Amino acid sequence: MHDYIIVGQGIAGTLVAHFLLQQGKKVLVIDHQHHQAASMVAAGLINPITGRNFVKSWRIDDLIPFAIQTYQQLEQQLKVSILETKNVAMLFNSVKTENDWLVRSSNPDVVDYVAKDFYVDFYKDFLDDVQNGVEFKQAGRVRLKELILAYQALLQKEGNYLEEQFDYQALEIEPNQVQYKGVVAQRIIFAEGFQATQNPYFNYLPFAPAKGDILLVNIPNYPAKDKLVKHGIFIIHLKEDLYWVGSTYNRDYKTIDPTPKAKKSLEERLSRVLKCPFDLVDHITAVRPTVRDRRPFIGQHPHFKALYLFNGMGAKGSYLSPLFAAQFVAHLEQGKDLDQEVDIARYYSYFEEK
């Protein structure tokens, strides 16, 4: 008898499995390794101040320290490098943006995140249209793909992993347990990312997935490897001369595959700002599990009490998932209350209407 089946091993399912296994639970993780899983394509940025209005990310003061602690612990356990601590260099291309920042810069919300050593002339050497900028600290990048693959290897080694597409028709639900192809578990947790829209038990929720296109490019001799540069688009160092460039954000997509239009748009945006030459290596896409009210979807099914959801990490899975996975496991195992802002109970009326 298993304690839990988890469907989906993106960053969400990985961290729920991690905290459950830490508590000695018997867990089976099922994943079909979808190549457009958001976690395998995302840059994994932890970015405390976002958007044109320089707004502090929701709950960021709690989320970042917990994320850092969790990833450092996983680095030790898995013996892989997961966390890169780097400042975000946000560059402005107009006097208006510079003025907007000046208005915000003394706000107590953002002051603690401003790095002192920003030097704009450094960026003007290799980027066009740089008016000014600011650097934010307590930022970084989580190597999500490396973490997920290492965790998958651990699950496989311990016999806790099944590679297949979960078949919802094969799930037998009883009041206090579920059965899936002969595996009996007390509870099942769905963490399928954007593919939860295909889940017959939870697709009543208002998911609003957003497709993202990114480019992988080679930029020889790029001088800002140690910064997460945002100049309209992000330019993020991955390894050697390879960089992640993106991304688009599209809720109105017709296909989840790469399109020539998005590729052209990203190439043009990069050419506009980058003075040095680059070579295109790849163009890839994935879909973010974004939701209408921009808060995670976590909790118990309104009718089937053995069914749970851990999803809705949106565009911020690398720093939302650690704290909320830990809180979710404390809810499941120690009966702690779920945060009302993330609890899917806020949408139970949608289920009743369906």
Count the helices and strands in the chain (H runs, E runs).
10, 20
Exactly one of 5, 16, 20, 45 binds ligand FAD (CB under 6 A); that residue is: 45
Smallest CA-to-CA distance from 115 within 123, 105, 124 is with 105
Q: Is 70 in the site for ligand FAD (CB under 6 A)?
A: no
Amino acid (one-letter) located at 203: N
Shortest spacing between CB 44 and ligand FAD, in angstroms: 5
Contacts for 191 with CB less than 8 Å, ≥ 6 apart: 6, 7, 8, 9, 10, 12, 13, 16, 309, 310, 311
Q: Is 140 in the site for ligand FAD (CB under 6 A)?
A: no
Q: Is 44 in the site for ligand FAD (CB under 6 A)?
A: yes
Q: Which of residues 306-345 bind ligand FAD (CB under 6 A)?
A: 311, 313-319
**Residue 31 or 132 with smaller CB distance to ligand FAD:** 31
* Three-class SS state of 263: helix
Q: Which of residues 150-179 bind ligand FAD (CB under 6 A)?
A: 165-166
State phi, psi for 10 to the nearest 5 degrees: -80, -160
C-alpha to C-alpha distance for 4 and 307, rounded to whole angstroms: 10
Smallest CA-to-CA distance from 100 within 53, 44, 136, 46 is with 53
**Residue 143 or 331 with smaller CB distance to ligand FAD:** 143
Which residue's CB comes closest to ligand FAD?
Answer: 10
Exactly one of 138, 195, 300, 327 binds ligand FAD (CB under 6 A); that residue is: 195
- Judge whether 347 and 205 are in contact, CB under 8 Å: yes
Exactly one of 185, 191, 270, 309 binds ligand FAD (CB under 6 A); that residue is: 191
Task: Return residues touching ligand FAD (CB under 6 A).
Answer: 7-13, 30-34, 37-39, 41-45, 165-166, 191-195, 212, 214, 246-247, 286, 288-289, 311, 313-319
